[in-house]
Amino acid sequence: MSDHDPDCIFCKIVEGKIPSSKVHEDDEILAFHDIHPWAPVHFLMVPKKHMASLAQVGPEHTAMLGRMMALAPKLAFQEGCRPYPQGGFRVVINTGDDGGQEVHHLHVHVFGGPRPWTKG
Ligand code: 5GP
Ligand code: ZN
């Protein structure tokens, strides 16, 4: 099975077919700025291999998810989030329609920076 879904917008970003403003890239994770930021800092982290959502996660994905969680603070502070505890950031994984997911390629939102934010 292919690692990419030809109809998936985030797969196209991973493949470089759609440009993005990159925050981080390694062998299995890409992070890029959200095109419609809700907060002064707002970027997304995605696995390079297509998977629809957190609902499909199994034991084989725990290392990748752990790496994304460990990357979140590093990238958040690199992108300008203020130090904890006065600053900090929010990590969100929308999953399915009831979870408010619009793009069906697993992604982790990281929001931060001084409030007010547009949403959230
Ligand atoms: P969801 O609602 O699925 O959790 O969030 C999808 C996010 O992807 C939204 O915040 C939206 O702004 C962002 N997004 C959608 N299309 C693109 C795109 O082509 N490029 C970038 N950088 N972000 C996108
Ligand atoms: Zn995809």
86 alpha carbon – ligand 1 mean position (Å): 28
Q: Is the pTM of this model over 0.85?
A: yes
28 alpha carbon – ligand 2 mean position (Å): 13
Q: Which structure tokens are listed for 3? A: 């690692």
Q: Which CATH class is domain 9-112?
A: alpha beta
CB 43, CB 23: distance < 8 Å:
yes
Name the residues around ion ligand 2, CB cutoff 5 A.
5, 8, 10-11, 50, 105
- Among 3, 96, 95, 107, smallest CA distance to 45 is for 107
pLDDT by 10s per residue, the chain, length 120: 589 999 999 999 999 999 999 999 999 999 999 999 999 999 999 999 999 999 999 999 999 999 999 999 999 999 999 999 999 999 999 999 999 999 999 999 999 999 999 988
The ligand 1 site (C-beta within 6 Å) comprises 9, 18, 20, 32-36, 94, 100-103
50 is catalytic: no
CA gap 95, 12 in Å, rounded: 20
